[in-house]
Amino acid sequence: MSNRIQSTRASAARPATRRTTASRRVTLPRWSDLDRVLLAAVVALSLIGCVLVWSATLERDDLTGGDTRAFLLKQTVNVAIGVGLMVLVAVTDHRWVRILAPVAYVAAVAGLVLVLVMGSTINGSRSWLIIGGMSFQPSELAKLAVVVGMALVVAERSEGRWRDRVGTVDVLLMLVVAGVPATLILTQPDLGTMLVLTATVFGVVAASGAHRAWLAVLAGSGVAVAAFAVVSGFLEDYQIDRFLAFTNPDLDPRGAGYNVEQARIAVGNGGLFGQGLFGGSQTQSGFVPEQHTDFVFTVAGEELGLVGAALIVTLLGIVLWRALRIATRTDDVFGRIAAAGIACWFGFQAFQNIGMCLGIMPVTGVPLPFVSYGGSSMFAGMLAIGLLQNIHLRTLSAPASRMTPQQRVLVRG
């Protein structure tokens, strides 16, 4: 009789064990849990970018060699590779993300050092590595490396600490992490990336909870460094000319002010609904320099009009909204600071790019996230989106991880 009771108890325990094991699977990331709004906005921007790049290079035989679809195919491949990188980061266990963060930082710094040793100069900046006939810009990946590096510093030092306030040592360590790649980028010199990186560092320090006095110090230091760079002759002549052309586009309309003037004409030609896709007079005549990269927004303004340009701005706004939403909803220090830093990076870079196309910001040569042609920018951006998705998935799984096995069974139903 006692043997039967023990057997019954054992058989009753086995289903509970299976149920507990199955319930643990609830904590694993599922594709249905992705931030689909963020994903849809990024995919839409990438597809629009492919079409705009195609239009900008359609009549440019000097770039395509007669193959009108060359840049469309290249950008499509860039997007496909970027999506693959995004998926890889999104599904990686969050513990591995933190372990690999220092590796990514060291790799980015090594790439910047290689640029100074064996890099190629394009458009006046020694920012490119030519490998196997393909060009690569390490400074794009350095933006993400700085964000995760600074976030990791705060996260590692805050664990087990009784106070949330970021102290002086924390801020100094973050500035050291950002200062190494920033110095290497400044020596290229890549002024556009340096401005984006400066704004990103400011945003990360603000999101970390540092005292407001540090923000004032950083702002003042940034102005002082910029003034010193101009006075000391550290900047190249063409970079100074761009700033002068920004203050007065008529100063050199055929030189430094040419880009700004042609960009403003192209955007102004678009009106409300544009001149039609592949029908822009400035675009198809090739009057706007670097239109498939830095000035791709002018293609949207001329051929799709205010409506098309507003759509791009709206999609970028959605990306920023979702990034900030992820930052505010996670209770993980690393995830919160990293997500906020990515939002600052995308936000300022988009503002800088669109601003120079409209003539309200100086020409500094930064791409429009997910829209401009280029593999380096696309890969870095998609990796950042993958990290945002990873943080989002981690946030969703956190409540379930704190449940007891019995609660998980009840939730599973």
Q: Is residue 265's pLDDT more than 50? A: yes
pTM: 0.85
Q: Is residue 14's pLDDT more than 80? A: no
Q: Is residue 62's pLDDT more than 90? A: no
Q: Is residue 389's pLDDT more than 60? A: yes
pLDDT of residue 38: 96
How many other CB atoms are there within 10 angstroms of residue 159's CB atom?
9
Would you list the domain boundaries of the chain? 33-412
Q: Higher-confidence residue: 140 or 239?
A: 140
Report the C-alpha gap between 365 and 375 in whole angstroms. Answer: 15
Nearest to residue 316, comparing CAs of 71, 88, 41?
41
What are the residues facing 130 on neighbouring strands? Answer: 135
Name the band, by pLDDT with cuts 50, 70 and 90, for residue 49: very high
Buried (b) or exposed (e) across 306-322, using 16+ Cβ within 10 A? Answer: eebbeebeebbebbbeb
pLDDT of residue 336: 92
Q: Which DSSP symbol is given to 135?
A: E
Name the band, by pLDDT with cuts 50, 70 and 90, for residue 238: low
Q: Higher-confidence residue: 413 or 255?
A: 255
**CA distances (Å), origin 276, targets 261, 308, 355:** 21, 10, 23
Report the C-alpha gap between 107 and 309 in whole angstroms. Answer: 36
3-state secondary structure of 253: coil
Task: Tell me the pLDDT tens digit for each residue of 283-332.
Answer: 888 888 889 999 999 999 999 999 999 999 999 999 999 999 999 998 88
pLDDT of residue 290: 87
Report the C-alpha gap between 285 and 279 in whole angstroms. Answer: 10
